[in-house]
Amino acid sequence: MVAYGMIKTSVLSFKVLNLPSSKIEGSRQFKCKASKMELTITQPDDWHLHLRDGEVLQAVVPHSASSFGRAIVMPNLKPPITSTAAAVAYRESILKALPADSVFSPLMTLYLTDTTSPHEIKLARESGVVFAVKLYPAGATTNSQDGVTDLFGKCLPVLEEMAEQNMPLLVHGEVTDPDVDVFDREKVFIDTILQPLIQRLPQLKVVMEHITTMEAVRFVESCSYGSVAATVTPQHLLLNRNALFQGGLQPHNYCLPVLKREIHSFLACTVRKAGLVAAFYGQAIVSAVTSGNKKFFLGTDSAPHEKRRKESPCGCAGIYNAPVAISLYAKVFEEAGALDKLEAFTSFNGPDFYGLPRNTSKIKLTRTPWKVPESFSFSFGDIVPMSAGETLEWQPSSI
């Protein structure tokens, strides 16, 4: 709670959480049955995950595999995964790195470049292991230097083939123009790239990854179901940009797209809880995901970087949240009084959009306060997770 000092309204929820369960049942904040001490939900999937490779892959994959059934694995390695052959090989190394009893299934992606060919999309589809193609505007984020420099000028034939093959385009939705303020880059991307793209290729399935603004929420809501969807991270639901500067520069809260103003994330929830659903606020991220809208689903964007690379004079972007993600999503839904909508967000909306079967296994979430480690130590160095050192309420376990 202290580290989330910017989330003013959570004080109310925490008071209620400390009451005996009989009181919790009747509480106004928790209108759904899940105000109980325990919840059983279908095994969640992570529709946006960075696993890296080599020793980092070995270190981090158990965290994702213990919470998620499947994950869309991002291709921004060094060098990036630009071919189906590379995606197949990367998948093999992920499977090898899994704990012995794990049934976690990595869903691979290709990294779109100016020179990706339509033929590569056919190969990707035929492989049966590639499920999407990722657009990184060149220079927009970590390892995006080989990304696309001119989507409409260089990639139209490949996008047409993707529409033909029903292969979704996943977008890091930010322009890279240095003249555009870093906080406006998502909004400008929607206006100048996404909107024209879906007009030109309405059959193309698009996922706006890690949305951060009410403009993105409005855009996704305005598109037809099945064509455009969005993933949402725990950090963009729980933190606002004050978290970057609270008590000094906070490199572990730095990710891209950068955290935005309160109004884009949590205030919407406050207003909704107070029963004052203003159209303006009602569009923002917490309201969107907790409303039950099927176009929004779980994508952690868990992005491990070594502690020393985050805490450096030029700290890199990315938040490692795999070990805490499920607990944090549960916290968001609980505080919004919408735990009954959690399962659709974590476990139904993603596979439904991708046309994949929902998981059949279940997990249990128990209200068992647990302390998040300050960091995880590996032979190559430490990785600091999101919410390091904090106590979280919900603990997931498999059944």
Active site amino acids: 48, 50, 134, 172, 210, 301
Stretch that binds ligand NCD, among 88-96, 139-147, 184-192, 222-230 (CB under 6 A): 139-147
Q: Say if residue 253 is exposed, middle or buried (CB neighbours under 10 Å; 0-12, 13-18, 19+).
A: buried
Shortest distance in whole angstroms from residue 266 CB to Zn ion: 21
Query: Could you give the CA distance from residue 301 to residue 233 in angstroms, rounded to a whole number?
Result: 6
Distance of CA 186 to the CA centre of its chain: 15
Neighbours of 173 (CB within 10 A): 28
| 3-state secondary structure (DSSP) of residue 280 | helix
C-alpha to C-alpha distance for 260 and 276, rounded to whole angstroms: 22
Whose CA is closest to 17, among 394, 277, 385, 358?
Answer: 394
Please give the residues from 98 up to 137 whose contact with ligand NCD meets the rule CB under 6 A. Answer: none
Question: From ligand NCD, Zn ion, none, which one binds at residue 232 (CB under 5 to 8 Å depending on kind)?
Answer: none
Q: How far is the CB of 209 from Zn ion (least distance, A)?
A: 6
Part in contact with Zn ion (CB under 5 A); list of ranges 11-19, 117-125, 169-177, 279-287? 169-177
- Based on CB atoms, which residue is closest to Zn ion, 140 or 243? 140
Tokens of 180: 């555009």
Provide φ and ψ at 133, rounded to 5°. Answer: -125, 135
Q: Which of 7, 148, 256, 336 binds ligand NCD (CB under 6 A)?
A: 256
- The yes or no reply on residue 172 touching Zn ion (CB under 5 A) is yes
Judged by CB under 5 A, which of 141, 235, 283, 290 binds Zn ion?
141
Q: Does 253 bind ligand NCD (CB under 6 A)?
A: no
* Residue nearest ligand NCD, CB atom distance: 318
76 binds, among Zn ion, ligand NCD, none (CB under 5 to 8 A by kind): ligand NCD
> 362-371 and 105-111: which strand pairing?
unpaired
Q: Which does 255 bind (CB under 5 to 8 A by kind): ligand NCD, Zn ion, none?
A: ligand NCD
Least Cα distance to 397 among 33, 101, 34, 40 occurs for 40
Instruction: Please tell me whether residue 301 binds Zn ion under the rule CB under 5 A.
Output: yes
Per the listing, tokens 């949402």 go with: 232
Work out whether the CA dihedral 78, 80, 83, 87 comes out positive or negative: positive
Is residue 383 within the footprint of ligand NCD (CB under 6 A)? no
Residues that bind ligand NCD (CB under 6 A): 50, 76, 141-143, 172, 255-256, 301, 303, 317-318
Residues that bind Zn ion (CB under 5 A): 141, 172, 301
